[in-house]
Structure 1
């Protein structure tokens, strides 16, 4: 795929129709359905609509869209036309949307009706934005997607794009600043499907996929679009917040064979007392987890209750999907597993030298799915994308069996008595205590100015904080070692998290330092 003409939609969608799956269900969103043939027609109508609106090849169109069947139609229709779709997090603030829409210079904004209020005051102030197209029943004075597509032809000559040409952008989560636009190529979608989806998941045509992570996330895009479409499988889309109750309801209604979750959700599904007898459908064969490392206790509890393994792995927006993972028949809970076939990884110290087994280092990845770089961020691009290697910012340790265990983000790690402490390791020990539901650990200076662990914990319903500090200190000492125990324990109602469920430890660090 190194040269010549290649459009990702030809491989991802048109191939399924050519191979006889035109009448097969591709997506259902609980209200509407699209077969592969229907999606092909809709994507061509979207491509024609964009051309009619004057959008040219390589220009951007933004998507603030909930997970309905309109999402893949718009996303794939833009790519078909050689136009670059930019799916955005549906939970951003007005200021963040204003920044991102101006940054990517979107000519058209596709938006779900329910999300219009958060952008209504800015759309007239963005010089590059010419059209707003609404998915829903009431466009509130803007163009209505269904009306715009009704008169369009379903015949369109797919743009003869290059495999190394940007196909779509994804914005990073921006947990420590404004989001950064990652440019992904036409060849990147197939790269994730040919590696993780095929060689780790073993995804099949008869699979039904359900992802808690939304399509605008790199993780969700692979789970719910790239992977199922790579083999002609079916996806169940959910436009609502993925609560434990809703996930169980969808699992029992649609009987997915693969469920893609995140650690926080798995924990909540296991610990909600009102759902303790809920089944997880009758056909579930595998689950995956990413976004943050999965605690060993959660993986074991899920397997014990449902008889199905969770494949814990790690990915990133920059690399599009999972590059380290456990695999069927090769699972060790508490680790991120081994490199996904097709990916190479290194652990390096601050000098850039490889570290031996058992020593903490920063994870670098040589990935076929790596983004081209950040838009308008040359310095950060150079820091992250260093030739073949992408710097993840994650600290890992490799054992003698070649498995990798997450220690923390580079800025989350700290030393106690000269020894590195992994916040994740301490948190994993804390949540095995019967009183603790969730935990986050950050460094705090003691009276002598030396850093020690401080824990923020969310208690299980009915648990008491009385005497808990001493109990948790002893619990952690017994679990992972005497120097790693939290010197301070603060009980909180909830922990700050990103939309993907990652704990925002920097907010807790800021609070602890004040």
Structure 2
């Protein structure tokens, strides 16, 4: 593996590095760092506002290493407050706005933040928050004359002495989605973003200052934070910031800003295909279309290639590694695979004793790399269970083919046995979504009256399709022709929507609760 860490100065602050060293000192101060709702924000302006926000936090009594939380939709204030806090040596904690209210309240208490930065909408939804540590709440859209946030921030100095941080200081926290219990606080260090820039932006993507990045994934996600901020800023490129996930808004933004890089989760590509006859996407400016966050169904890859003539490049990473460690190589994509290890990471499929398994054998994913978190906050035992030096077991099941390509099998919750044979829910979902009458599908297992495992398909139909018994028979015939018989759903239940978690993946725990609601 590459040793990038040793090349980073011991005294190091990633916020100062991104805006001053990478851009202003290289003559790119007047260049657009990002666009938001037709407004251009230059690197000089972003640096100035980072200083203002950093001073605001210091003026409110926060000290180095103390924590604040950001609970906002994507907007310029998110970037200013995040990097402003880091510049001042204060640790920002990013809270995903798609989490359940009880999980958000849990994070506010668990992280022991002293200040919450949010808006009126979220303040109203959260109600009266009381923790022993929370001292201040800033409402950024408070327009009362006395507390108008714009006036307060403009009164703050635009010069700030960078905190005396080192490359090993904690820079920020992100929380996991809580798919396997309570969300966990993932602590990342000042050097982690730098590692990802070197390996992903400059290495894999060959990004330059001429690139324009449009990421649909939002800032509280590791995938979205990387794309829209440091991966882009680290090479002097420009990002497009938007708070919308609407397919129509996406088409309009692509037309307006002409991005060269387009990053999204699979469901976004599916939604763009869904409206293609009404509002087609202009892909003429885009050199790479990238997907991560969840596994891309092979059927969707082929539909996209057939319609647009562009290969979707797939990668995989985790919050714990901050960015991707597996990826297709642009121009050399193998559909259905999550690609090869990104240079700088070591990735293996291992057994329960961490010994590598043979090609084709399913095992646990063990990843090593310099961007790995330092641990979970206040979760000593859980940290010890997954970390092995600079390696981590991600909790995902994978196998490799003879050429070394990695294939995602699932997490434990995605796998079940039928007639003694392992069945992967995502594989069945992939096949079913090839049927043009199906918009979305989720697979679950249930115990039948005979006390045997049966497969149930929850189906969202295309708008023009009505559910009936003949349609169900048609789907059963379709599946028998396209997959092994023991993987065919025994029952089809038609629903209005598939439950999704905060990361956009199918929420299989909620899906389990569909049984009583939709059971025939």
TM-score, structure 2 normalization: 0.93
How far 1:23 moved relative to its partner?
0.4
How far 1:446 moved relative to its partner?
3.1
Q: Is 1:219–1:321's contact at 8 Å kept on the other side of the alignment?
A: yes
Show the 5 A alignment for 1:38-187.
Answer: 38-119=45-126, 121-123=127-129, 125-136=130-141, 138-139=142-143, 143-187=147-191
Show the 5 A alignment for 1:57-456.
Answer: 57-119=64-126, 121-123=127-129, 125-136=130-141, 138-139=142-143, 143-240=147-244, 242-272=245-275, 275-456=277-458
- 1:340-375, Cα deviation, whole Å (9 max, x unpaired): 111111212345432211121121211221111111
Q: Is 1:32–1:69's contact at 8 Å kept on the other side of the alignment?
A: no
Question: 2:400 and 2:467 mapped to 1: Cα distance?
Answer: 37
- 1:180-208, Cα deviation, whole Å (9 max, x unpaired): 11001111111112112222222221111
Q: Is 1:435–1:464's contact at 8 Å kept on the other side of the alignment?
A: no
Question: 2:99 and 2:509 mapped to 1: Cα distance?
Answer: 18
Question: 1:6 and 1:293 mapped to 2: Cα distance?
Answer: 35
Matched positions, count: 509
How far 1:19 moved relative to its partner?
0.6
Residue 61 to residue 147, structure 1, CA distance change in 2 (3 Å) = same
Q: Is 2:248–2:279's contact at 8 Å kept on the other side of the alignment?
A: no
User: Which moved further from structure 2: 13-22 or 395-404?
Assistant: 395-404
How far 1:143 moved relative to its partner?
4.6
Helix, strand or coil at the partner of 2:234? helix
Question: 1:472 and 1:354 mapped to 2: Cα distance?
Answer: 40
Unaligned runs of 5+ in 1: none
Q: Is 2:296–2:314's contact at 8 Å kept on the other side of the alignment?
A: yes
Question: 2:138 and 2:273 mapped to 1: Cα distance?
Answer: 40
Helix, strand or coil at the partner of 1:70? helix
Q: Is 1:213–1:500's contact at 8 Å kept on the other side of the alignment?
A: no
Q: Is 2:99–2:502's contact at 8 Å kept on the other side of the alignment?
A: no
Q: Is 1:280–1:306's contact at 8 Å kept on the other side of the alignment?
A: no
- Which residue in the other structure is 1:495 paired with? 498
How far 1:140 moved relative to its partner?
5.6
Helix, strand or coil at the partner of 1:133? strand
Question: 1:470 and 1:442 mapped to 2: Cα distance?
Answer: 19
Helix, strand or coil at the partner of 1:318? helix
Q: Is 1:21–1:36's contact at 8 Å kept on the other side of the alignment?
A: yes
Selected match of 2:488 from 482, 485, 490: 485
How far 1:421 moved relative to its partner?
1.4
Q: Is 1:413–1:421's contact at 8 Å kept on the other side of the alignment?
A: yes
Residue 391 to residue 263, structure 1, CA distance change in 2 (3 Å) = same
Helix, strand or coil at the partner of 1:443? strand
Q: Is 2:54–2:85's contact at 8 Å kept on the other side of the alignment?
A: yes
Residue 448 to residue 217, structure 1, CA distance change in 2 (3 Å) = same
Q: Is 1:133–1:139's contact at 8 Å kept on the other side of the alignment?
A: no
Q: Is 2:201–2:235's contact at 8 Å kept on the other side of the alignment?
A: no
How far 1:141 moved relative to its partner?
8.6
Q: Is 2:350–2:364's contact at 8 Å kept on the other side of the alignment?
A: yes
Residue 161 to residue 231, structure 1, CA distance change in 2 (3 Å) = same
Helix, strand or coil at the partner of 1:194? helix
Asked whether 1:5 is paired with 2:11, we answer yes
User: RMSD between aligned alpha carbons?
Assistant: 2.0
How far 1:281 moved relative to its partner?
5.0
- 1:195-247, Cα deviation, whole Å (9 max, x unpaired): 1222222222111111111111100000100111011111111123x011111
Helix, strand or coil at the partner of 1:159? coil
How far 1:390 moved relative to its partner?
1.2
Unaligned runs of 5+ in 2: none
Question: 1:351 and 1:112 mapped to 2: Cα distance?
Answer: 48
Question: 1:436 and 1:364 mapped to 2: Cα distance?
Answer: 36
Residue 72 to residue 277, structure 1, CA distance change in 2 (3 Å) = closer
Q: Is 2:350–2:363's contact at 8 Å kept on the other side of the alignment?
A: yes
Helix, strand or coil at the partner of 2:51? helix
